[in-house]
Amino acid sequence: SQQGEEDPQALSIQEGENATMNCSYKTSINNLQWYRQNSGRGLVHLILIRSNEREKHSGRLRVTLDTSKKSSSLLITASRAADTASYFCATDWAFSGGYNKLIFGAGTRLAVHP
Amino acid sequence: DAMVIQNPRYQVTQFGKPVTLSCSQTLNHNVMYWYQQKSSQAPKLLFHYYDKDFNNEADTPDNFQSRRPNTSFCFLDIRSPGLGDAAMYLCATSRGSLDSYEQYFGPGTRLTVT
């Protein structure tokens, strides 16, 4: 079963508005990552937040992590039409060799209208 | 400057006819992953290689096999494709070290089974 569940499944906003997507997960994590996928393309890594961090920023992106609630949120400020994509959170299971595998949530489909 | 390359981008095969998808990387990463992504769903890990060490997910059907002849290349073989195997197949890589958990994805191969 999927580790992460995302909310909402779809979000439609106007350019300039902020978009907030939420992710919940079930078990303890080392890190949580957010990825973006344009229609019919591969995924692009956006940001990683470690389990001992509560908030992280990257440009117009702000990610929060609440390990007590097992949830994370991704905020995109001042959205643009080019932000239209699907956004996935991914929790990781670390292997002893120092690498991980990712378990993805179902994703939020964001549509930003000009 | 493509770092993870997948060929072909679109593949059509007939029911039961073996098909091979290929992935190559210029990042010299230790780990290569294959994911299956069906329409509007999360990517699902099929298997991965750490160097030459193959790791299969427990629920990956036997119909799916993989080969990694060298660091740069990895192949996904579907021995007898069924209609349910129609999906986007994503290849990804990661450095495989404790300080780097980001995965780098290729553009994907969309497989159609007729």
pLDDT for res A30: 84
Give the residue with greater pLDDT, A108 vs A92.
Answer: A108
**How far does the CA of residue A99 sit from the closest CA of chain B (Å)?**
4
B43 touching chain A per CB within 8 A: yes
The full set of domain ranges for chain B reads: 4-107
Chain B residue closest in CA terms to A99 = B96
With an 8 Å Cβ cutoff, are A42 and B42 in contact?
no
Q: Tokens 């349910």 — which residue?
A: B84
With an 8 Å Cβ cutoff, are B45 and A100 in contact?
no
How many other CB atoms sit within 10 Å of the CB of residue A20?
Answer: 16
Q: Which domain holds residue A27?
A: 4-113
CA B104 to CA A85: how far, in whole Å? 17
Tell me the per-residue pLDDT of A37-78, one tens digit each, with 9 for 90 and over.
998 888 999 999 999 999 999 999 999 999 999 999 999 999
- Structural domain count, chain A: 1
Chain B residue closest in CA terms to A92 = B101
Strands B44-50 and B31-37: antiparallel
- DSSP type of residue A83: G
pLDDT for res B97: 76
Residue pair A70/A93 in contact (Cβ under 8 Å)? The answer is: no
Chain B residue closest in CA terms to A106 = B42
pLDDT(A1) > 50: no
Tell me the per-residue pLDDT of B42-65, one tens digit each, with 9 for 90 and over.
999 999 999 999 999 999 999 999
pLDDT(A96) > 70: no
CATH code: domain of residue A47: 2.60.40.10
With an 8 Å Cβ cutoff, are B94 and A88 in contact?
no
Number of continuous H segments (helices) and E segments (strands) in chain B = 0, 11
For chain B, residues with pLDDT lower than 70 are: 1, 98-99
**How far does the CA of residue A78 sit from the closest CA of chain B (Å)?**
26
**Fold entry, domain B4-107:** Immunoglobulin-like (2.60.40)
Closest by CA to B47, choosing from B39, B37, B36, is: B36
Cross-chain CB nearest to A99 (options B6, B88, B96): B96
pLDDT(A97) > 70: no
CA A79 to CA A2: how far, in whole Å? 28
Residue pair A9/A22 in contact (Cβ under 8 Å)? The answer is: no
